[in-house]
Amino acid sequence: MRIRLIWVGRTKNEHVRALVGDYLQRLGRFVRCEVTELRESAGGDERGVIEEESKRIAAALARADGAMTVLLDVEGRREWSSPELAAQVGRWQLEGKKEIAFVIGGHLGVTAELKAKADVRWSLSPLTLTHEMARVVLVEQLYRAYTIMHGLPYQK
């Protein structure tokens, strides 16, 4: 299985970027990972920004050729605990999913059409996180899920 991480905008804070890189390197011991950073919209009205960034995300997902899509969404119905996420990732592997694309939209969100196309809409937390912090939490939790699946001591 491969994990594709798609998000809008670059990780600007060097400390956050280093944390993401560290967890991606750790995660790479268990699963192939690929990060796609999409350009933020140059500006304009909110609706235009959302539509433009959503088109970029849709194009990146089209290149993912049939990947299952997990959209991180504040309105997502699913808040997994770490063990529940590990169990879900394990189920996806057993189901033969070749690729899972985790998507973090822009700061204004994504279109309703993109939300509707997502296989899963996942709320990381009821807390408000910056998009950069959501990236750290996402890759750390994916790494934690794999350590749980493999019975390694990191998660304790």
Sorted by where each starts, the structural domains of the chain and their CATH numbers stand as: 2-155 (3.40.1280.10)
- Any bridge partners for residue 35, and if so which? 5
Secondary structure (DSSP) of 72-128: E-TT-SB---HHHHHHHHHHHHHTT--EEEEEE-BTTB--HHHHHH-SEEE---SS-
pTM: 0.94
**Angstrom distance (rounded) from CA 139 to CA 134:** 9
Full pLDDT tens readout for the chain, 156 residues:
999 999 999 999 999 999 999 999 999 999 999 999 999 998 789 999 999 999 999 999 988 777 899 999 988 887 899 999 999 999 999 999 999 999 999 999 999 999 999 999 999 988 888 999 999 999 999 999 999 999 999 765
